[in-house]
Amino acid sequence: MQTLIPSSYHIAFNQTAAVVVLLMLLAPYWLGPITIKFKQSRPASPEGMQPVADPAALSPALAAFVAGSRGVLEALGFRNFAVLQQGAGVVLLAEVEPGTVATALAIQKPDGRLHALLGFTTRMAGGAKIRTSNSPLPSITPAPAGESRMRLPAEQNAGRLYAIHMHRVAQATAAGKRIDRLTIGNPVAYQHAEELSSLAQFVASGYWRRSGDRLRLTWKGAFLSAWRLLPPWRGISQRRDERYAAALA
């Protein structure tokens, strides 16, 4: 004799299965933040950095990065170069009148490949900064009040990236803002101040909290920083920046 299973059981089973599938599909949005909340921490102060007198003494990949980046920036008029080594990475700083600083950064991964980016920073009167970079990843925290960021990961032409940056600066000066000269006379102090500012913003935004000599994610920071790297949020600001750049082509 065949036992009939009530249709209500089929409905309940299908609903449960649908919920399980939905939770699996959305795991990056809820499980990811929970995971990084308990696994991620970072130093509460900038990592030590040392001036590099002879970039040729770096690993071949980093030495080639420094030489190539310097050549490109020199062609754009940048001067007063400084090279700093920090952990497994290197920072190349340079400046140009009327006060824009270029930062070329590369971190060598265990497999030998480089994670690299180029950015330009101009400070306006009052301390607000205009930043333009080709960083492959968006910032995991909001920008400080008054700071304007643009990220163009597909723009690997330094001249084009610099032209876009200077167009943004020209728009700011046309609106009545004044450039406050930024210099790297003391490159270690400059980079240290930049990193201190970033760490302070991590805490001020409520994304991170201090715990001894470490910064640890808050629940707010774990969820919002993870979501900033996921669709649709990751693409919103990137599409806006790409439209701006395309309009200048």
What pLDDT tens digit does each residue of the chain (249 aa) get?
Answer: 455 555 665 566 567 777 777 778 888 899 999 999 999 999 999 988 999 999 999 999 999 999 999 999 999 999 999 999 998 899 999 999 888 999 999 999 989 899 999 999 999 999 999 999 999 988 889 999 889 999 999 999 999 999 999 999 999 999 999 999 999 999 999 999 999 999 999 999 999 999 999 999 999 999 999 999 999 988 888 899 999 888 886
Q: Return the bridge partners of 106, or none.
A: 90, 116
Q: What is the DSSP letter of 81?
A: E
Are the C-beta atoms of 130 and 121 separated by less than 8 Å? yes
Q: What radius of gyration do the chain's Cα atoms show?
A: 23
Structure confidence at residue 32 (pLDDT): 93
Tokens at residue 120, please? 């330009």
Q: Report the DSSP pairing between strands 89-96 and 100-108.
A: antiparallel
Structure confidence at residue 98 (pLDDT): 81
Residue 92: phi, psi to the nearest 5?
-105, 120
Tokens at residue 235, please? 């693409």
Tokens at residue 86, please? 């920090």
The number of beta carbons lying within 10 Å of the beta carbon of residue 191 is 21
DSSP-derived secondary structure for 113-166: -EEEEEEEEEEBTTS-EEEEE--SS--SSPPPTT-EEEE-TT---HHHHHHHHH
